[in-house]
């Protein structure tokens, strides 16, 4: 079910959740061994700073909610987006449509923070791990804020621009959900 249509996250079937986690692990393993040798001129701190600057520009575009094509331009042409129980959205055109549907509501808000940023040895791939709070609407039209764990995989394209390959989120563990960290119904995030 599409998050844009209902504004809610659904629990994924165990197999789908395992496949999503496996995909993220494969991406992380690829990052760990993808570069044969880092270029001697690579400055990891500068590359991480450039990536985080690009991510911050993406956050601003999302917050402005005005231009779905601009928001989708932060993805690679073959980028994908998926979450727990959500259909996979693949390709720039589909991402643009999905983003347009998502940001259409006045209560929409998507804020994320990163707790880990890892760069491949050659400086061409990176992954970021963190959390997201996303406010959409439930089937009744009421704002609902969902909290999820987030992983993004980014690639530095030949033009030197960082673009997101994978934007994926998963529901927090059951212990977090039981403590009220999964969904807050009835009001948008303050």
**Mean pLDDT, all residues of the chain:** 80
Q: In sequence order, which residues have a C-beta less than 8 Å from that of residue 47 and are 6 or more positions away?
A: 119, 123, 126, 156
Q: Of the ranges 23-32, 95-104, 122-131, which one carries the lowest mean pLDDT score?
A: 23-32
Q: What percent of the chain has pLDDT over 90?
A: 53
Return the pLDDT at 73: 97
Q: Is the pLDDT of residue 146 over 60?
A: yes
Q: pLDDT tens-digit profile of 30-64?
A: 554 444 444 568 899 999 999 999 999 999 999 99
Write down the pTM of the prediction.
0.72
Q: pLDDT tens-digit profile of 79-117?
A: 999 988 889 999 999 999 999 988 888 888 999 999 999
Q: Where are the domains of the chain?
A: 44-185
Dist. CA 48–CA 60, nearest whole Å: 18
Fold of 44-185: Nuclear Transport Factor 2; Chain: A, (3.10.450)
Dist. CA 149–CA 97, nearest whole Å: 24
pLDDT band at 3 (very low <50, low <70, confident <90, very high): very low
11-21: average pLDDT:
50
Return the pLDDT at 105: 80
Return the pLDDT at 118: 98
């Amino acid at each position: 079910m599409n998050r844009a249509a209902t504004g809610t996250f659904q629990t994924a079937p165990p197999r789908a959740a395992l496949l999503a986690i496996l995909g993220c692990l494969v991406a992380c393993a690829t990052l760990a061994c993808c570069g044969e040798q880092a270029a001697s001129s690579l400055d990891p701190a500068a590359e991480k700073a450039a990536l985080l600057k690009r991510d911050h520009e993406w956050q601003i575009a999302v917050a402005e909610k005005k231009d779905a094509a601009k928001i989708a331009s932060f993805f690679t042409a073959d980028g994908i987006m998926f979450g727990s129980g959500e259909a996979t959205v693949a390709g720039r055109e589909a991402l643009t449509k999905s983003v347009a549907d998502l940001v259409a509501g006045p209560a929409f808000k998507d804020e994320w923070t990163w707790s880990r940023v890892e760069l491949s040895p050659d400086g061409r791939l990176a992954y970021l791990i963190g959390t997201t709070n996303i406010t959409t609407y439930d089937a009744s039209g009421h704002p609902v804020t969902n909290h999820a764990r987030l992983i993004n995989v980014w690639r530095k394209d030949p033009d030197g621009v960082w673009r997101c390959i994978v934007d994926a989120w998963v529901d927090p563990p059951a212990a977090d959900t039981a403590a009220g960290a999964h969904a807050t119904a009835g009001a948008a995030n303050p």
